[in-house]
Every structure is written in structure tokens, then in C-alpha cells.
């Protein structure tokens, strides 16, 4: 079914559930492939380490290794104070936590940050029918 304009609600729900199931099936396959890919990556890291090189040129492509650093904190209160004390707000990502903002606005209906923008829209969810015995 590709012409959804002629479909009724039951047909649309059926197609939606089949699509969702197929996506889950494909996600499982992707997860398996990614697991195998990590095993290959580990072996390539081992090869680079054994040869003490950051690059290996092969007929099928060049393998490169580099250091990837990530940072986190176990003490957010102190980290926020550090950012404030050092005027280092650039260390934080510019993103608003949607759930917390929604809750804050609900608890403080008379307070609105300057420049805050919001978008709300309806979304659809479909549940499979309950199986009867």
C-alpha cells in the first residue's frame, strides 16, 4: 500500500505497525554489524599499536588512528561554579533540556526567558491491539 490517501484508520495503523516492526528488525541487524565493526576496529588499533604507527596504507584503503578525547564531570555543582568563576561558558553546549524547560515554565508561568522559542506539534503513536485468548 503506497497510496495512503485512500486508506482507512485500521489500514493505516496496520501499515504503521508493520513499518515499525521492520525498522526494529533492521535496527537489530545494524546493531549486529556495528558490534562486528567494533571487533574489526579493535584489531586495526592493535595493528597500529604493534607497528607503532598512526597510519597504515593498504590496497583497500588507509587505516588511520588518532586520539579522540571526551570530558565529563562527576560534580556538576562544582563544575558550574568553575565555569562561572572562569567566565568559561563556552565549555558548555548551547542546548536547552526540553523536559526541564517544560517543567520550569509550568511551575513558573509568569517567568519567560528573553529569546526563548518553542514549537509544539501533534505526534502519532500506534499500539498493537491486545491479543484475546
Is residue 126 situated within a structural domain?
Answer: no
Please report the pLDDT score of residue 26 as a whole number. 98
Is residue 124 situated within a structural domain?
Answer: no
Q: Which regions of the chain are under pLDDT 70? A: 1
Please report the pLDDT score of residue 130 as a whole number. 85
Please report the pLDDT score of residue 1 as a whole number. 53
Closest CA to 45 of 34, 57, 53: 53
Is residue 133 situated within a structural domain?
Answer: no
pTM: 0.67
Please report the pLDDT score of residue 125 as a whole number. 85
Considering its fold, how many domains does the chain have in total?
1
Is residue 44 situated within a structural domain?
Answer: yes
Please provide the distance, in angstroms rounded to a whole number, between the alpha carbons at the two ends of the chain.
Answer: 30
Is residue 127 situated within a structural domain?
Answer: no
Is residue 89 situated within a structural domain?
Answer: yes
Name the residue range of residue 9's domain.
4-107
Structure letter (DSSP) for residue 86: T
Amino acid at each position: 500500500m503506497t497510496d495512503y490517501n485512500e486508506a482507512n484508520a485500521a489500514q493505516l495503523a496496520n501499515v504503521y505497525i508493520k513499518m515499525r516492526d521492520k525498522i526494529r528488525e533492521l535496527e537489530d541487524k545494524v546493531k549486529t554489524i556495528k558490534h562486528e565493526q567494533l571487533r574489526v576496529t579493535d584489531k586495526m588499533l592493535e595493528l597500529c599499536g604493534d607497528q607503532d604507527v598512526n597510519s597504515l596504507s593498504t590496497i583497500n584503503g588507509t587505516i588511520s588512528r588518532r586520539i579522540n578525547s571526551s570530558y565529563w564531570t562527576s560534580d556538576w555543582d562544582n563544575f558550574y561554579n568553575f565555569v562561572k568563576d572562569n567566565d568559561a561558558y563556552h565549555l558548555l553546549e548551547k542546548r536547552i533540556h526540553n523536559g526541564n524547560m517544560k517543567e520550569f515554565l509550568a511551575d513558573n508561568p509568569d517567568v519567560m526567558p528573553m529569546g526563548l522559542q518553542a514549537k509544539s506539534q501533534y505526534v502519532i503513536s500506534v499500539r498493537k491491539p491486545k491479543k484475546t485468548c
